[in-house]
A and B are shown apart, each in its own frame.
Chain A
Amino acid sequence: AQTVTQSQPEMSVQEAETVTLSCTYDTSESDYYLFWYKQPPSRQMILVIRQEAYKQQNATENRFSVNFQKAAKSFSLKISDSQLGDAAMYFCAYRSSQFSGTYKYIFGTGTRLKVLA
């Protein structure tokens, strides 16, 4: 069975600085998707960034980028130029690429990011 581990329950970063959130996963599959979701306090969860395992290039979305190490099964999120609005709970998630209808999302336990002014 697949698992997703976020070993940092809480992180802090100074405004305008860079922070990296860690995520490791375990799977026997070769093709899958990885995601980072952001859940601001009392607000809806939204997708931050997505990585397809067959793509070697690391995904980037504006100030958010990932470091995808497939062999090490590591998928970290880097937030550059941190802003107060980045404060949230961040979840790493895994999804199989199987199309048989038996896929499901597996989430880590989350990392709470605090941004200090």
Chain B
Amino acid sequence: KAGVTQTPRYLIKTRGQQVTLSCSPISGHRSVSWYQQTPGQGLQFLFEYFSETQRNKGNFPGRFSGRQFSNSRSEMNVSTLELGDSALYLCASSFRPTRDRGNEQFFGPGTRLTVL
């Protein structure tokens, strides 16, 4: 079974631009979560999508948005980029977690975003 894939792997943008990152979950997984990873802050939860609906949201400004498509693929958009948005953006997928099934998240390789 193919793992979680993220595209592109690397991006360089300038301040004020916008960017769209893509995540394809493991086949059969319906939940996709996004995280921002920086050396100082570690992993911070951005949002989670399940069945095309945002189910949970972290403490990020409205410049960060996302969506999920009917095939469970998800995109994350960041508008009006700032220098502080430079980070590794990780996507993780899971089957709808239950106690019996466990609730393991499977992570993608990440997209490294650099804002100049």
* Partner-B contacts on A (CB < 8 A): 33, 37, 43-47, 50, 52, 91, 95, 97, 99, 101-110
Contacts and interface: CB of A to CB of B under 8 A. Distances in A.
Interface of B: prevailing SS: strand
Contacts of B3: 44
Nearest to B105: A105
Contacts of A105: 33, 45, 92, 105
A50 B102 contact: yes
Contacts, number: 49
Given A91-B42, A91-B43, A109-B42, A103 B107 contact: no
Nearest to B4: A44
B107 A95 contact: no
Contacts of B108: 44
A107 B42 contact: yes
B55 interface: yes
B3 to A, nearest CB: 7
Contacts of A107: 35, 42-45
